[in-house]
Structure 1
Amino acid sequence: MGLGGCIILIAAGAILTFATDWEMQGVNLDLVGVIFMIVGLIGVATFSSIAKRRRVVVPPNTPVIDEGRHPGRRDGYSDGYGA
């Protein structure tokens, strides 16, 4: 389940808990909404911790290779103007 699914669970849980007044025999919709919100929050926390581990960080001391300009080569774009 991705981040979008977790947010949908949180929203559906909030709607069931706070915005409805339905009565169902044998089902407490307030409790179902709270469970949806808790599962959504756990999913967001899990997703963010996995995404944090996957993030690639380039070391700050990586050399930058500058090819520079070739003075004899003129392709119309190397001097900043169009062709």
Structure 2
Amino acid sequence: MGLGGCIVLIAVGAILAFATDWHLAGVNVPLVGFILMIVGLIGTVTFTSIARRRRVVVPPSATVVEEERHHHRHHGDGYTDGYGV
């Protein structure tokens, strides 16, 4: 289940817990709503922690060193664009 599914669970749970006045025999509808909200929150936390681990972070102390290349051009061999050196 992705992040969108977790958000849907939280929204449906909030609607069942706070915005309905349904009375079903043997079912506590607000409790079902709270359970859905908790499951959605657990899924959101799990999803974000996994996504954070997958992210590759380059340490700020890494230094990029560029080398200067000198192209020697040999006239007469047909390679004058630097690729034939």
Same fold (TM over 0.5): yes
Within a 5 Å distance, the mapping from 1:52-67 to structure 2 comes to 52-60=52-60, 61-63=62-64, 65=66
Matched, 1:7 2:7: yes
Higher Rg of the two aligned structures: 2
**Unaligned stretches of 5+ residues in structure 2:** 69-85
Report Cα offsets for 1:35-81 as digits up to 9, x if no partner: 000000000110111011001112331416599xxxxxxxxxxxxxx
**Unaligned stretches of 5+ residues in structure 1:** 68-83
How many residue pairs are counted as aligned between the two chains? 67
Within a 5 Å distance, the mapping from 1:4-83 to structure 2 comes to 4-60=4-60, 61-63=62-64, 65=66
Identity %: 73
d(CA) in 2 for partners of 1:10, 1:2: 13
d(CA) in 2 for partners of 1:16, 1:64: 59
- Structure 1 stretch 55-64 or stretch 10-19: which is displaced more? 55-64
Code of the aligned partner of 2:21? D
SS at match of 1:25: coil
Runs of 4+ in structure 1 deviating by more than 4 angstroms, as ranges, are 64-67
Give the RMSD, CA atoms, in angstroms. Answer: 1.8
TM value normalised by structure 1: 0.73
TM value normalised by structure 2: 0.71
